[in-house]
Structure 1
Amino acid sequence: MLKNASNKKFAGILAALFLLVGTAHTYGQTNNPGPKFGIKGGLNLSQLYVDQPTVEDESMKAGFNFGVFGKIPINSFLAVQPEVLYSNAGSKVTYGGSDLENVLGIESGEVRFNLNYVQVPVALAVNVGPLNLHAGPYLSYLFSANVKDLKQSDLSSSDIATLDTDDFNKLDYGVMFGVGFDVKAVTIGVRYNYGFREIGNSGVAGQLTENSKNGVGQIYLGFGL
């Protein structure tokens, strides 16, 4: 009698599990979203984290990002999200100490680094209802750089005046991760990009930005179809 009751209980649990699996499978098939493509843009907050002994202070630089994105579903929970973005990076750095002038030939003061990239991130997105968690690698190409000595009234007297795109590494790469919300055609979110490569390649640029890598926080709004 007890054995029969146990068998019936086990059969009931087994049937419930099959029903649950079948329901989940049907949901995944009927609610598997199609590909989405759209435009996005927003605010960048960037910092270089310069590891240089003459650096006295460093502050974030505000910029912007904009571009196009795609969201290609693997199933109802996972999607691949490639993007092509224009993205500002850089920082405002305060240098001090006699070594700066003796070694680099420039006065102590504030220097603003403006670095403009074409960025291609590719994220794996995990969708939980309208929420998505995403992470993946990115590759960026530096197409222009502008460096300004904020203390010098005559930039031609400073070695910083000669710095241009060729003084910085053209390629940057790293990882990014973030969280977003998808509500119908609208997507909003925040993301952080962490670079692996030093930005300066040689000379004054390399010394001013010694061991510095891009760190960029992003807030974005997008519209997709």
Structure 2
Amino acid sequence: MKTTKLPLIAASIAFVAAFSNKSFAQENPVTFGIKGGASLSSFGGDLKDTKSAVRYRLGLTTDIALTNNLFVFTGLDFQTKGAKYASKGGSEAKYNPIYAQIPLSIGYKVDLAPNTKFVVHAGGYAAYGIAGKIKNDPNNDKRSVFGKDGFKRLDYGLLGGVGVEFGKIAVSAGYEYGLANINNAGPKISNRNPYLTIGYKF
């Protein structure tokens, strides 16, 4: 009788040990936060004579714990992208599309010191254009950046970054590499966005 109970006892001990190792998930499996920052936005693709432009972003963050160190990062960002264009003939244009964007990445957190963690993550994003203008100089002519003669609203691509968490404060730097051709007519254009953000986790 005692012999037949040994496998059951061993299985019970293994289950309790595994459950204990994952107990963190019940304590704080999901963390929400806010973030804001800036990017040095530019265009990739076939459009020449473009220059980078400073753009801004604001968002909500969600960290989902898979293990003590492995996380899924997502949320909702509102950000401006775009660039400046200056033709050889002297005309200039400023592109200022505004997107609602959902990032999704896998990240790893490493303890550097008490209440200090190094974070690295990689994944992708999907974005939808919600507003924005093209401003043409010198006539100061403005029109919507989205439409059949402008940009497509859908954007998607890859992203990656590194950061440091100081308790509830998170500082992050990263890069978004657009894969979509966002231009409806003319040369291929895709978004490029190195960025820097600071956030707070609740």
Question: Which digits, 9 at most, give the CA deviation of each residue in 1:130-151, with x for residues without a partner?
Answer: 011011110000011211112x
Equivalents in 2 of 1:182, 1:28: separation in Å? 23
What are the within-5 Å matches in structure 2 for residues 39-50 of structure 1?
A: 39-50=34-45
Question: Which digits, 9 at most, give the CA deviation of each residue in 1:120-165, with x for residues without a partner?
Answer: 0011111111011011110000011211112x3263xxxxx55542
Q: Quote the residue 2:195 is aligned against.
A: 218
Question: Which digits, 9 at most, give the CA deviation of each residue in 1:63-101, with x for residues without a partner?
Answer: 11111001010001200111100011000111125xxxx
Instruction: Note the residue ranges of structure 2 that are not aligned, 5 or more in a row.
Output: 1-17, 112-116
Contact persistence 2:135–2:143 (CA under 8 A): no
SS at 1:214 equivalent: strand
Q: Quote the residue 1:131 is aligned against.
A: 118
Alpha-carbon shift at residue 187 of structure 1 (Å): 0.7
Q: Quote the residue 2:155 is aligned against.
A: 172
The 1:50/1:145 distance shift into structure 2, 3 A limit, reads farther
Equivalents in 2 of 1:162, 1:30: separation in Å? 54
SS at 1:36 equivalent: strand
Q: Normalized against structure 2, the TM-score is what?
A: 0.79
Aligned AA (2:58): F
The 1:164/1:59 distance shift into structure 2, 3 A limit, reads closer
Q: Quote the residue 1:153 is aligned against.
A: 139
Contact persistence 1:49–1:58 (CA under 8 A): no
SS at 2:98 equivalent: strand
The 1:175/1:50 distance shift into structure 2, 3 A limit, reads closer
More helix by proportion, 1 or 2?
1
SS at 1:49 equivalent: strand
Q: Quote the residue 1:11 is aligned against.
A: none
Aligned residues: 176
State percent identity of aligned pairs.
Answer: 25
Question: Which digits, 9 at most, give the CA deviation of each residue in 1:169-202, with x for residues without a partner?
Answer: 111000100001112111111010011111211x
Q: Normalized against structure 1, the TM-score is what?
A: 0.72
Contact persistence 2:96–2:145 (CA under 8 A): no
Equivalents in 2 of 1:94, 1:146: separation in Å? 16
Equivalents in 2 of 1:48, 1:126: separation in Å? 30
Instruction: Note the residue ranges of structure 1 that are not aligned, 5 or more in a row.
Output: 1-24, 98-107, 156-160
71, 81, 94: which is aligned to 2:73?
81
Contact persistence 2:97–2:145 (CA under 8 A): no
Equivalents in 2 of 1:168, 1:211: separation in Å? 10
